Structure formats: C-alpha cells, structure tokens
Amino acid sequence: MKHLKIGLLLLYLALATTLQAAIKDTLAVHLVETSAGKTWQVEIALENRLNNNLTAFQMDLHLPEGFDFDEQSWTTATRLLGHTTALAFQKERQLRVLAYSPTNVAIPGNTGTLFRFALHKRPNVPQGDYALTIDSVFFSKRDGTELILPEVHTTLGYHIFHDVVYRVDGAEFLRQPVGEGLPIPPVTPPEKEGHHFVEWTGLPTRMPTHDLTVDAVYAVNTYSITYYLDEVEYGKQTVKYGEKIVPLTVSDTDEKHFLGWENLPETMPAHDLDIYGRTEATGIDTIEADTRVTVYNLQGHCLHTGADWHKVRFLLRPGCYIINGKLVYWSSPKK
C-alpha cells in the first residue's frame, strides 16, 4: 500500500509538471479600432493560469510610427489591484511600463488584461500596416527570481475608410465603412416577395478610393398553377409573380357545361397554386337515371309520353330533344 501511494504521488507530480509545461505564461496584445481610421485601443493581456507567484513586471512597448500615446486613456485591470504602475518614455517611441506591489501581492493566476490605453493616428499618416512590439519583458517572482517572456509582435492596420451604400428599390438599406484596398465583405440582401436576389450592381471585390453606391438587382420568380377539372388533373401553366393570370380554357360539349375555375386570383401570388373547376351535365347524362320519360322534338311534337327510357333510347335518332323538360343532345344508345 505504501508503494502504491508513492507511485500515485509520483504520477500526480509528473502530470502536474507536464500540464504546467504545456500551459506556459504568455503575453498577448489585442487591438480594437474604436474610431474608424483614427483611434485604436491597445490591451496587454497575461496568460498565467498555473502561476500565482508573479508580483511585479517590466516591459518596453515600441509604439508604431505616426501614432500618439494617449496617457489619459491609461487604465489598469482588476488583476493589478494592489499594484503600483509607472510609465516612462525611454526614447521617442519606446514606452517602459513598470508594475510592482509594495506588499508583495501576486498577480492572480488567470488569463486576461493587465492594462489598456489608446493610440491616436496623426494627420496625413499614409495607410498601411504598422508594427507594435513588446520586448524586455521581465516578471518578478516571490522568491526573488525572474521570469523572462519572449518578444511580442503585432500589426496595427490603418486604412482610409469610405462608405459602401447598399440600396434596395432606391432606398438606403445599409451603409458600411470599408478601408481602401480591403476586400469588401459580403452583405446579405433583404428578402423580396416573389423575387430572388441576383447581384449588387457595380460592386467591386476591393474598396476603391471613394464612396460607393450599389443597388440590389432582383429577378421575378415564376410559379406553377395546376388545374383540376372534376377532381382530375386538367393541365398546368407557369406564371410570373404579379402577372395577370389567364386561365386554361375549357370548351363546353354537347353533354357538359363548364361552370368555371374556383378561387382563381387575378394576379399570380408568390407560391404555387392548385385550382379546381367543375362541369355540369347538359346532355343525356342528366336523364339517364330517370325510369319514365316524356320526349318532344324541337318542333314541339310529343314523341313519347311516360315511356320506359330503356326502350325509348333505342328508338331515337341522333339529334336534339326535349326530354323531361331538358334540352339534350342524343347521339347513340349506350350498350
């Protein structure tokens, strides 16, 4: 059991050492452009999740040419509560930052910002990328030893901005600033009923040296109408959104009269349609179910009175008759 406990302790120490080696103390710079083309906020962050022994530090910030340090914007994060900070320019662009704790308070083992400040661009600075470097980074430990971190390099990108104005149907939809020469980010157009988006007219891939106004181009969608006559599919047609619908024609026959299409809108909506129509019998089908019939010809002469239809139908020649008060066309008997 004793050997097992020693083995577990050695394993724990080995894992802790491996984890600490994998998660090293690092310094990072984060740049946020707070005013387009004018002001940047600089944040210096420390990653030291496994190290609670750092009590002080010193580092040199080499600021980019053409940008001024705003001393009034200098703030320290809550991680440096209990610490005193001091700033001094060693050279024109070299800012030395010191932080220490009179009571030897450690910087909490964590990850996050140590301090932040603003840089303002001077007038007439040409657009481009400008280097910001941090070197001579020393952290003091409680035991009096020092932790030296490697240099940190980042780039502050400055570009002259112009507006891209996106219009839909002549009205401004979106205004977006983009730096000269930078790729213009894609913009999702608004949906338009019955249409699909085609393009933004005259939109280049990179921003030119002036403002841009582009218009959305949409194409009209085409939708389908399926016609059903007496519950059976009769035909199809395609119609563009908003166009007047000219329905399929149905011709009357000697035996059926078309009653029309139901619920057919005047213009095409933004979806497919199913349209239903009905016919009514006008021929012999209207009296097929009758047992007794009275038949007149068109001259008004009575041919049969109260006769058995199933016998009379074999006696009639093809033509028009008045049967039980209805005008019908008789072609031939159904066998």
The per-residue pLDDT for 36 is 77
Q: What class is the 222-281 domain? A: mainly beta
pTM of this prediction? 0.53
The per-residue pLDDT for 24 is 76
Classify domain 161-216 by CATH number.
2.60.40.4270
**Cα separation, 80 vs 46, whole angstroms:** 11
Spatial contact of 203 and 214, defined as CB atoms under 8 Å apart = yes
What tokens were used for 150?
A: 């490697």
**Cα separation, 16 vs 242, whole angstroms:** 71
Q: Which CATH number fits domain 25-158: 3.40.50.300, 2.60.40.680, 3.60.21.10, 2.40.50.100?
A: 2.60.40.680
Helices (H), 23-53: none
Contacts of 303 (CB under 8 A, 6+ apart): 295, 296, 297, 316, 321
The per-residue pLDDT for 326 is 79
**Cα separation, 331 vs 287, whole angstroms:** 14
Output the CA torsion sign for 9, 10, 16, 19.
Answer: negative
Q: Tens digit of pLDDT per residue, the chain (335 long)? A: 544 444 444 444 343 443 344 447 899 999 999 987 789 999 999 998 878 889 999 999 999 999 999 999 999 999 999 899 999 999 989 999 999 999 989 998 888 899 999 999 998 888 888 999 999 999 999 888 999 999 999 999 888 889 999 999 999 999 999 988 889 999 999 999 999 999 999 999 999 999 999 999 999 999 999 999 989 999 999 999 999 999 999 998 767 789 999 999 999 999 999 999 998 776 556 666 667 889 898 888 899 998 888 888 888 888 788 888 877 777 766 55
Spatial contact of 44 and 26, defined as CB atoms under 8 Å apart = no
Cα distances (Å, whole numbers) of residue 27 to 76, 152, 247, 249: 15, 7, 74, 79
Q: Are 25-158 and 161-216 equal in CATH topology?
A: yes
Residue given tokens 């946020």 in the structure block: 32
**Helix (H, G, I), strand (E, B), or coil: what is residue 253?**
coil
The per-residue pLDDT for 293 is 87
Residue given tokens 């047992």 in the structure block: 291
| Domain residue ranges in the chain | 25-158, 161-216, 222-281, 284-330
